[in-house]
Structure 1
Amino acid sequence: MIITLRNTETREISAKIDELHEERGEAAQGRVLTLLISTDEKELEHALSLANGASREHPCRVIAIVPQAGKAGRSAEADASGAKAAETSAETQGSTTDATGASSVPAGGIGTCGTYLDAEIRFGADAGAGEVIVLRPRGGLVHHPDTLVIPLLVPDAPVVAWWPTEAPANPKTDLLGAMARRRITDAKRSSNPWRTFNDLRRNWSSHNIDMSWTRLTVWRAMVATMLDQPPHLPVISARVTGPKDFISLSMLAAWLRLKLGVSVTIEDDPGTDAVTGVYLTRADGTLSLERPSVEEGVATISMPGQAPQTISVPARTLEECLSEELRRLDPDEVYAEVITRGWALIHPAD
């Protein structure tokens, strides 16, 4: 079920959600968190699909903020109506305050004519295990996403902010990121992955995480399992393979450099789009974990004195990565070490 609200305000959205909960016999308190998504129209449906899937493990209220450019698509009559509503709201109502003490922004928006807020409320099959609120601010409201979001947060539930593609250079100081307990970015899917990641690295915070790291969870677990097998000989050197200039590959190398204290070589594997191998050299030979084809999703583990073993290692989906980060809201200490110390050991010039 999708309900569209035109030229609305946050208190109307909140009242409608309460009405829907009452009709369905539900309670917003059943949500374990509020997930804020900052995105654009092109990415919106994909991001909501991922969030809906993840919400089945983590029931949450999803609030997507999708800024709109100008007033395109609105009729002159709607513009006039919106301007009149703004004047009336400013004169007779001003900013209202909800039960939590948060301001509710009038549709006219901070006293500026030509400022609008359109919204969608999605329930049921269109919203996973929660509800979805899509906010489409335009005009002056584009610059006040925090003011729009605060009245709609689930009381006493942690807030997570997620940027599916383009991320702010410093999520901690972003208006949405500042209110979040966890900030999730994905440098790989931005328009300039390395610039985005370097900005995130320089402005690192313990509450930030990038999915370039989350994609490595299975690889790190398997490498750790290999090293747990006897004989426990020290690793002399390490090598990782994958596509050139792949952020996750460099992070894997940085992690190995930190944990093993040995030199790690990054080797380009042309024509690939994910990590393809980890090779650890010891006195008794080389331990290796190879997955030459992401499509086939089959990896081979080779250890000195043992027959090779094949295991299924499919590429992690974005939904799996998002679910993992929603599962863990406390700081990732290992990620912190890789970002603050390990990266410089692999890329000293950065």
Structure 2
Amino acid sequence: MKIDLTETTSSKINQALVSARRAIGTPAIGMVLTLVIVTDEENAYDALKSAGDASREHPSRIIAVIKRLSRSPRSRRDARLDAEVRVGSDAGTGETVVLRLHGELANHAQSVVLPLLLPDAPVVVWWPEGAPAEPAKDPLGALAQRRITDAYSAERPLDELAVRAATYHPGDTDLAWTRITPWRSMLAAALDQQPAEVTAATVEGESDNPSCELLAMWLADRLGVPVERTLSGGPGLTAVRLDTKDGVIVLDRADGSLATLSMEGQPDRAVALKRREPAELLAEELRRLDPDNTYESAVKFGVERLAGPPQAPAAKTVRAAEPAADRSAKQPAGDAPKAAAKKAPAKKAASK
């Protein structure tokens, strides 16, 4: 069921939600959170579709905020709120409200969204693209317990990742981190099967891919070993190599769907490691509403190394993650740490 409202108010939108629920016999109970999506017209359809699919696992009230700014001074003064209310099969397993804010009202989106939040329920804000520099201090982000961004959608993903590290607040997360959850799980399981001291690691993937950088920083942070970042043609993250005193562990995914796990003294095993859709990533992030301390530690590792402009794709470019031992040395105040960049032929991780 869809209800279109023109030049409306938050109060009238709430009344429309109640009327729609009564018309189709759907109760308000059962929704576990409010998901606020801040997007534009171009990306609204895909974002709402992903949120609707994720709501099958997390029934929620979805509020899409679309700001319609105008360059005309007169139009900016003409504040107006248009809304579309969707309930039932048109809104997944919850409710959807699409807000279009015109003129000066676009600068005060929080005043429109606040009356529409589910009472006594968590709030999550998601920016599919164009996230603010500091989500926790954004007027909409300040309403939420969790704030989801996506560094991969930025024009310069590695610079965006550095911004996420510099402005991190408890409750922040990024879909670039969510994309590597299966890789982290698989590598941890491999080390459980073959406990050994890791001496070095290599992460291979596309140039300027924030997920590859996050995985390299996570390994360096948790293992305390030097980690090389080598380049490949993708798609995305393609291989991870762990050098241990008992042999080499290699997780290689050349085609973006099926990976091969190679361990010393064991036969190679095929592992399902497909690239996931935004709906799956969003559903994973909605499973936890507490701060992700592991993400915080990983994203803050080697922030100075990521702060410069991304290097141009080149066959011989190698980025090296700083060993944890080096980070223990304190630098005098005012001296910016300098990251060491290594250059060596790019190599593809493979089991010998």
Would you call these one fold, judging by a TM-score over 0.5?
yes
Equivalent residue, structure 2, for 1:125: 89
Take 2:59 and 2:163, find their aligned partners in 1: how far apart are those partners?
Answer: 32
Q: How far apart are residue 113 of structure 1 and its match?
A: 5.8
Equivalent residue, structure 2, for 1:88: none
Take 1:70 and 1:264, find their aligned partners in 2: how far apart are those partners?
Answer: 48
The answer to whether the Cα contact below 8 Å between 1:71 and 1:114 also exists between their aligned partners in 2 is: no
Equivalent residue, structure 1, for 2:249: 287
Structure 2 CA distance for partners of 1:342 and 1:229, relative to 1, 3 Å: farther
Residue 256 in structure 1 maps to residue 219 in structure 2: yes
For 1:52-201, list aligned pairs within 5 A: 52-70=52-70, 114-201=78-165
Deviations 1:133-160 (A, max 9, x none): 0110111101100000011111111000
Residue 209 in structure 1 maps to residue 173 in structure 2: yes
Take 1:127 and 1:70, find their aligned partners in 2: how far apart are those partners?
Answer: 29
Gaps of 5+ in 1: 73-78, 80-111
Q: How far apart are residue 225 of structure 1 and its match?
A: 0.5
The two structures, once aligned, show a CA RMSD in angstroms of: 1.8
Q: How far apart are residue 26 of structure 1 and its match?
A: 2.5
Residue of structure 2 aligned with 1:305, choices 245, 265, 283:
265
The answer to whether the Cα contact below 8 Å between 2:202 and 2:240 also exists between their aligned partners in 1 is: yes
TM-score by length of 2: 0.84
Gaps of 5+ in 2: 306-320, 323-336, 340-352
Equivalent residue, structure 1, for 2:348: none
Question: Secondary structure of 2:237's match?
Answer: coil
Take 1:246 and 1:238, find their aligned partners in 2: how far apart are those partners?
Answer: 18
Residue of structure 2 aligned with 1:315, choices 260, 271, 275:
275
Equivalent residue, structure 1, for 2:205: 242
Structure 2 CA distance for partners of 1:159 and 1:246, relative to 1, 3 Å: same
Equivalent residue, structure 2, for 1:96: none
Residue 267 in structure 1 maps to residue 227 in structure 2: no
TM-score by length of 1: 0.84
Q: How far apart are residue 339 of structure 1 and its match?
A: 1.9
Q: How many residues were matched structurally?
A: 308
Equivalent residue, structure 1, for 2:193: 229
Larger-Rg structure: 1
Q: How far apart are residue 258 of structure 1 and its match?
A: 1.3
Question: Secondary structure of 1:65's match?
Answer: strand
Take 2:157 and 2:220, find their aligned partners in 1: how far apart are those partners?
Answer: 22
The answer to whether the Cα contact below 8 Å between 1:166 and 1:187 also exists between their aligned partners in 2 is: no
